[in-house]
Amino acid sequence: MLNYAFFPGCLISRRYPQIELATRKVMDRFGVKLINMNGASCCPDPIGIKSINSKAWMLVSARNLCIAEEMKKDIMTVCNGCFLTLKTTNFILKKNSALRQEINGFLAEVDKEFKGIIRVKHMSEILHKDLGIKRIKELIKHRLSNLDVAVHHGCHLVMPNDMLAIDNPERPYILDELVEVTGAKSAQYLHKNMCCGYGTSTNSKETSLEITKLKLFQMQRASVDCITLMCPSCFTQFDMGQIQIKRIFKESFDIPVIHYSQLLGLALGFLPKELGTHLNLVKVEPVLEKLGMLASNGG
């Protein structure tokens, strides 16, 4: 049986519990056991914290990796940001022995030692590679036919590619295949692999939303029913972002944003409420209606 040290990250566990809920439900359905990492902290944030002090960023990340090493488990992340932080530091520290020695000198202060014995995996990689499309297909109960989905893979699922190495950064396909196995269609749209804009929101909310707006405009032109993604930062940018765009730019898109764990959950036969889709800000009812799942929503 597959089991992983589960690293939900700050945003998912403390702002989007519905994503954690759907993730746990879906992985449980596949018999994947997720084990809590006691004592773990923020990954930390590869944009904010790394920008302030790269050394502190690497040290705190290394400590989180040590916790998984003590559990003798590979890590599963859902968040692209946590994936970027944990996988790149794991990669660098495994490769660079001089740096590893230096970092271990500091980690000794908290009785930790980085050994380099575990791997960091993203949920999409576990679904696509470890479980496989065939296995997922076997468990699909409710095909999401006629649903056109805008896949947004999120930059830090694929870049820097030399270290993350799970998909093609110029033409990612893992998440598209994961969408299509549910019976839905992954729509083509312009600027598909462009950033969501979240990364610059701490500095300029307006510029970040301009980027989001460009993507939403292209998704709308492609007449998609909803957006799906894995990263909670991208989720924020598209879901809460649409509310902010309405307020700041007076433009409405009303494209529901459904986290991939929720989308897969629907196809696996869970009720919308069991996946917390009612907590997403842009109303998902049009999607549920199209899928004939509204009656079973139950509020």
Partner 1 sequence: MTVCNQCGTCTGSCPAARFSDSFNPRKIIRGIVLGSDDELVRGNPIWMCTTCHFCSERCPQGIDVSEGIIALRNLAAQEGNVPEDIKNEVVNLLSAGVTVLPSPMIEKRRDKLGLPSLPRVDLEQVRTLLRVAGLDRHPKGDK
Residues of this chain that interact with partner 1 (CB under 8 A) are 10-11, 13-15, 17-18, 20-21, 24, 36-42, 44-56, 59-60, 63, 106-107, 109-110, 112, 155-156, 159-161, 169-170, 194-195, 197-204, 207-208, 210-211, 214, 276, 279
What is the smallest separation between the CB atom of 77 and partner 1, expressed in angstroms? Answer: 15
Helix (H, G, I), strand (E, B) or coil at 41: coil
Residue 226: helix, strand or coil by DSSP?
strand
**Cβ proximity to partner 1, 61 vs 181, nearer residue:** 61
From the CB of 134, what's the least distance to partner 1, in Å? 30
Q: Which is nearer to partner 1, 39 or 292 (CB)?
A: 39
| CA–CA gap between residue 262 and residue 273 (Å, rounded) | 10
Would you call 221 exposed, middle or buried from its count of C-beta atoms within 10 A (0-12, 13-18, 19+)?
exposed
What's the one-letter identity of residue 93? Answer: L
Which residue, 136 or 211, has its beta carbon nearer to partner 1? 211
Q: How far is CA 70 from CA 3, 38, 112, in A?
A: 15, 11, 9
As measured in angstroms, the least distance from the Cβ of 102 to partner 1 is: 11
Distance separating alpha carbons of residues 170 and 66, to the nearest angstrom: 33
* Closer to partner 1 by Cβ: residue 136 or 155: 155
- In the numeric block, the tokens 């939303």 are attached to 209
Q: In angstroms, give the least distance from the CB of 170 to partner 1.
A: 8
Burial class (CB in 10 A: 0-12, 13-18, 19+), 30: middle
**Distance between CA 170 and CA 162 in Å, rounded?**
13
3 state DSSP class of 222: coil
SS3 per residue for 108-141: HHHCCCCCCCCCEEEHHHHHHHHHHHHHHHHHCC
Output 36 or 96, the one with its CB closest to partner 1: 36
Cα dist from 215 to 89, 126, 220, whole Å? 31, 27, 9
* Closest distance of CB 236 from partner 1, Å: 10
What phi and psi, each to the nearest 5 degrees, are found at residue 176?
A: -65, -45
Q: Give the bridge partners for 194, in sequence order.
A: none
> 151: Cβ–Cβ under 8 A, 6 or more apart, which residues?
175, 176, 179, 186, 187, 192, 228, 229
Nearest approach in angstroms of CB 44 to partner 1 is 6
- Minimum separation from the CB atom of position 261 to partner 1 (A): 13
Rounded least distance, CB 181 to partner 1, Å? 26
Nearer to partner 1 by Cβ, of 182 and 201: the residue is 201
Nearer to partner 1, 177 or 274 (CB): 274
